[in-house]
Amino acid sequence: MPISPLQLLLEPLQETFLQRAIAVGVIVAVVCAVLSCFMTLKGWALMGDAVSHAVLPGVVLAYAFHLPFALGAFVFGVGSVGLIGWIRQHTRLKEDAVIGLVFSGFFALGLVLISKLRSNVDLGHILFGNLLGISDADLGQTLAIALVVLGVLLVRGRDLLLFCFDPSHARSIGLRTGALHYLLLSLLSLAAVAGLQAVGIILVVAMLITPGATGYLLTDRFGRMVGLAVLSAVIATVLGVLLSYWIDASTAGCIVLMLTLQFALVMVLAPRHGLLAQRRRRQRRTSQLP
Amino acid sequence: MVPPPAAEPAQRRLEVSGLSVSYGAEPVLVDVDVELLPGSICALVGMNGAGKSTLFQALMGFLQPLQGRIRIDGLQVAQAQRQQRLAYVPQGDQVDWQFPVRIWDVVMMGRYGSMNLLRWPSRSDRQRVREALQRVDLLPLANRQIGSLSGGQRKRAFLARALCQEAKLLLLDEPFTGVDRPTENLIIQVLLELRQRGATVLIATHDLEAIPRFCDQVVLLHRTVVASGPTEEVFTQSNLRLTFGTLAAADPPVRSVS
């Protein structure tokens, strides 16, 4: 019996390890995509990059001492953010300089620890993700992180949105903006930990920024922005995993490439905020001139 | 003779005494005293850099005083904020107008402080937002993104947010900058209604001409209080000269108030 092209494309979905990879990837994608909307609006892309790099020593130490890797990563993620804030307050340096030097320092510490501790940690898996070979224990932790982050966002999401939009007003109605600041950073650390399971430390910032950026160019409503970001991240994850199977290439690379392609398309074609729409508007305005 | 009884602290809506605030090492406000009663509108007048914004920042607890104290209805700032006694209408230059929220969402943010923990608006929350939007003539635009509004409409949206907060003390930072005449009149009307209902309004403004129309109190500020009291007594050319230096006297923006 001849095989249709569709069957050929969907055939990999029969493989258990691929089903599992897609399932984990989609969970991670949803969590990171929701959070990416807050990151985009708050302007915390650099902070996301910093946190995701700074968790490396935490992951290495956790593996070495047989602790849950999420715990180690969380401690170092939040710790790096605290250190960034402290140096910022006590020196004359600007924030971007402090962020850059803290996260690279933490990352370097992680590299040294890996080479000295001789644990069975595979640096490649941490740096570039290991979606196809995820262990049961790691899967459980990722699920737990996802539930915690989504649960907190469900309960505190509106306060966090207000904090992103107008911190002065948040403060003036008695919300503790300092606590909200650290809550958002903690969620960022957790999501970074989940994300590095899927795409690794280097590329996790793409999961934490790109879906939100894509959604932001498509709509002027926050609710829809979240929905579109999630949709975009899920599609990119499924297609990315399948693509990596078909062409036998890096899974993380394929997922992030899909995310970036979607963004590029949206940037050009978005109905109101896309480049083409802007050009049309400019032309219409010029043609209306006498 | 029996000395007059000291006013109950709770009768004063706002009490600022001996307030000194510094931004970094440089003191910006020195020994500021302001006292406002319920049901009054007070203009806060001073040059750029005279410390108006710093005073607002201190009133909202963003800056910690070096010295002195602030009481709102006899409460400390943080307490007053938790009880929704204080509303702030920002100038708007710090706001990200591209932010994906509708007018409705922005005004609803005024209700957050009194909502349940999940911030799910109740029927009465929605009703109050509708009334506030109606009052500032923005109800038909409720579903528009905030950036699509004109300057005057943006100010009205933030005023509506403060209205549905139902606070006792409103702080307005330059509400007339960049707004059209109808909006200015509408804002003044709303403030007069608030005073009628016993609220207190402190308004930082450069629009000296408008002040005698609706402010019953004036505080002239230049690092410290130059003069304060009822408009007709305080809002004089000589006091303004003290506040602004010779610049204002050369180009008098004020109609004489007699």
Identify which of A244, A137, A277 has the alpha carbon closest to the alpha carbon of residue A197.
Answer: A137
Nearest CA-CA distance, residue B100 and chain A, Å: 4
Position B112 in a domain: no
Residue A217: closest CA among chain B residues belongs to which residue?
B100
Task: Kindly report the backbone phi and psi dihedral angles of residue A171, in degrees, each rounded to the nearest multiple of 5, phi listed first.
Answer: -65, -40
The model's pTM: 0.87
pLDDT given at position B255: 45
Give me A122's structure tokens. Answer: 């595979």
pLDDT given at position B249: 45
Position B145 in a domain: no
Please write the tens of the pLDDT for every residue from B162-191. Answer: 999 999 999 999 999 888 899 999 999 999
Are B96 and A221 an interchain contact pair (Cβ–Cβ within 8 Å)? no
Nearest CA-CA distance, residue B177 and chain A, Å: 19
pLDDT given at position A252: 93
Residue B84: closest CA among chain A residues belongs to which residue?
A173
Quick check: B248 contacting A, CB < 8 Å?
no
| CATH code of B254's domain | 3.40.50.300
Domain range for B47: 1-85+199-258
Quick check: B93 contacting A, CB < 8 Å?
no
Are A168 and B90 an interchain contact pair (Cβ–Cβ within 8 Å)? yes
Q: Between residues 142 and 161 of chain B, which touch chain A (CB distance below 8 Å)?
A: 145, 147, 161
Give the separation between CA B199 and CA B85, rounded to whole angstroms: 10
Position B47 in a domain: yes
Cβ atoms of A25 and A194 within 8 Å: the answer is no
Say what the ipTM of the complex is: 0.83
- Report the residue from B84, B100, B113 with minimal CB separation from A220: B100
Q: Between residues 181 and 220 of chain B, which touch chain A (CB distance below 8 Å)?
A: none
Quick check: B235 contacting A, CB < 8 Å?
no
Give the separation between CA B167 and CA B172, rounded to whole angstroms: 13
Delineate the domains of chain A, giving CATH numbers in brackets.
5-282 (1.10.3470.10)
Are B100 and A173 an interchain contact pair (Cβ–Cβ within 8 Å)? no
Are B113 and A221 an interchain contact pair (Cβ–Cβ within 8 Å)? no
Position B28 in a domain: yes
- Report the residue from B84, B99, B147 with minimal CB separation from A165: B99
Give the separation between CA A214 and CA A265, rounded to whole angstroms: 9
Quick check: A172 contacting B, CB < 8 Å?
yes
Quick check: A89 contacting B, CB < 8 Å?
no
Which residues of chain B are within 8 Å of residue A152 when distances are taken between CB atoms?
A: none
Position B185 in a domain: no
Position B247 in a domain: yes
pLDDT given at position B248: 46
Which residues of chain A are within 8 Å of residue B87 when distances are taken between CB atoms?
A: 172
Are B81 and A220 an interchain contact pair (Cβ–Cβ within 8 Å)? no
Per-residue burial over B177-214, b if 16 or more Cβ lie within 10 Å, else e, is eebeeebbebbbebbeebbeeebbbbbbbebbebbbeb
Nearest CA-CA distance, residue B22 and chain A, Å: 17
Quick check: B109 contacting A, CB < 8 Å?
yes
Residue ranges for chain B with pLDDT beneath 70? 1-10, 246-258
Mutation for testing the A interface, residue in B82, B108, B112, B202 having most A CBs under 10 Å: B112
Quick check: A225 contacting B, CB < 8 Å?
yes
Cβ atoms of A153 and A34 within 8 Å: the answer is yes
Residue ranges for chain A with pLDDT beneath 50? none
Position B168 in a domain: no
pLDDT given at position B202: 96
Q: How many domains does chain B have?
A: 1
**Complete DSSP assignment for A210-259:** HHHHHHHHH-S-HHHHHHHHHHHHHHHHHHHHHHHHHTT--HHHHHHHHH
How many CB pairs lie under 8 A apart between chains A and B?
Answer: 71
Residue A177: closest CA among chain B residues belongs to which residue?
B62
Cβ atoms of A185 and A81 within 8 Å: the answer is yes
* Residues paired with B70 in a beta bridge: B16
pLDDT given at position B118: 80
> What does chain A come to in residues?
290
Mutation for testing the A interface, residue in B70, B82, B83, B101 having most A CBs under 10 Å: B101
- Report the residue from A159, A216, A219 with minimal CB separation from B119: A159
Which residues of chain B are within 8 Å of residue A171 when distances are taken between CB atoms?
A: 60-62, 81
Quick check: B224 contacting A, CB < 8 Å?
no
Position B29 in a domain: yes
